[in-house]
Amino acid sequence: MYRVIRWAPLWLLISHIALKALFSDRSILLDLILYNAIWIFAIAAIAQSPLSNDPVALASACLAITFWGFGSILNSYSDFYSLPVSAGLLAQLSYTLFYPLGLIAIPRSLARGRKLNPIELLDAAIFGLGISSIATALFLTRVFPQSLINVQDQFFSLLFPICDLLLLIIASIALVTHRLQLRATLLFLGIALFSTSDLLYLWLAVNGSYRFGQLTDDGWLVGIVLIALSFWLRQSKSEHDVGIHPAFLALSIFISPTLLALIALRPGIFPIYIVAPAIATLFMAFLRMSIVIRQAKNLGEEKVLARTDDITGLPNRRRLIAELATFSKTEGALLLLDLDAFKPVNDTYGHEIGNVVLQQVAQRFTRSLPTGSVLARLGGDEFGVLINGSYEETLEAAYALQATCSYPFLIEGHSIKIGVSIGHVHNDGAGDLLERADAAMYEAKRSGVGVVQAQPVV
């Protein structure tokens, strides 16, 4: 069954090309039913492709072809039956939606990606609007100086080839990045043939020689079928990012205010309808900026939380160790502190009271330390301090910390008495500060003297 679905669009395409070669006249069966059945089967082939494909790539590709196909149905139907004038514009807009979805699908179809980021959607929209629509408006009067085609058709006739060029750029980058891998090659050929058909249509339309139902119309279907078949080939293991380059985004954003300024200074220099895509580009650029700022803020908060103790709000062990790595050339000392008789507090009054004790201990320690010191809770009832200064100054600070626990803590009517044992090691350049301070702290706890100075390394 899967093999039938995989190859069905290709066999239908071959049949359509053969029949058109034999019967060149327009036919509802060939040009309306069979023609549009091909892209429908192509969507089915993509949807039923191996599960190893990126789900966002599958959805984007299916939606892109669906929008293109809807425009194809409207245009095909209008050549045999009458439709409202607005149907033509609806078809052109439907064709347009193929491109931003294609910009998302191409890089993701080559390697299973991460979750879809809203930034990707905005990048595709900014890139498409900022470059394609505005470039179309810039070159419009030069390409169609005396054409009888109306302004709407002129706009879309140039919009589509320029969008195709953008798809080709992304596909080319992917092809080179993935080292001409078969899947990337087939995808590139599909995009190239689809784009060539747009250029050919533009050329024939400008010269007044385009006729609906001619064999060249199958070029779009050939490109779509090749894209569908590429989803059945093995994925690349390359981890390179083949998304939209920031330089293209910067150019897209830069062009929009420039054109708006020129229109304001010299009305009539450009067609008025480029105002809408220019404003839309700027709006999405500001939206993208706000999302990036929010993400950066959240990332910064996450980094702070990752190095902050939940109970006391002090830096945690990870932060102290990171600071210790840059402390080797600083004159100062490392102090390790362990609260005495803290476990009975938890056992007697409960952990909630115990947490309040830790918070008040942290406040007392903070107030007694000189500016620039780093006080961290290492876990449980252990604290660490990095303090700058001479041997005498840091030792004096250690005794000051001991003194902060010399009077009881009054919490919810309870008078709670605890002490602290401190290990002091001066930064003498011998290294192993953490281990030496830890040994001194346990000696202070064992002997009950309060503060013990680590012995210098011989």
The mean-pLDDT minimum among 64-73, 155-164, 268-277, 415-424 falls in 268-277
Q: How many CB atoms lie within 10 A of CB 45?
A: 24
Using the predicted structure, report yes or no on whether residue 148 has a pLDDT greater than 50: no
Using the predicted structure, report yes or no on whether residue 278 has a pLDDT greater than 80: no
* Span 6-19, average pLDDT: 93
Question: Is residue 329 within 8 Å of 413, Cβ to Cβ?
Answer: no
Radius of gyration of the chain (CA): 35
The span from the CA of 289 to the CA of 243, in Å, is: 18
* Span 298-302, average pLDDT: 62
Higher pLDDT, 135 or 265: 265
Question: Is residue 248 within 8 Å of 128, Cβ to Cβ?
Answer: no
Using the predicted structure, report yes or no on whether residue 2 has a pLDDT greater than 80: no
The span from the CA of 123 to the CA of 119, in Å, is: 6
* Span 279-307, average pLDDT: 72
Using the predicted structure, report yes or no on whether residue 242 has a pLDDT greater than 60: no
Q: What is the pLDDT of residue 244?
A: 62
The continuous run of DSSP H or E covering 225 comes out as helix 218-230
Query: Positive or negative CA dihedral for 210, 212, 216, 217?
Result: positive
The 10s digit of each residue's pLDDT in 384-413 is 999 998 889 999 999 999 999 989 999 888
What angle do the packed helices 98-109 and 55-78 form, to 10 degrees? 150
* Span 218-246, average pLDDT: 78
pLDDT band at 422 (very low <50, low <70, confident <90, very high): very high
pLDDT band at 115 (very low <50, low <70, confident <90, very high): low
Q: What is the phi/psi pair of residue 393, to 5°?
A: -65, -40
* Span 124-150, average pLDDT: 59
Q: What is the pLDDT of residue 356?
A: 92
Question: Is residue 114 within 8 Å of 254, Cβ to Cβ?
Answer: no
pTM as predicted: 0.57
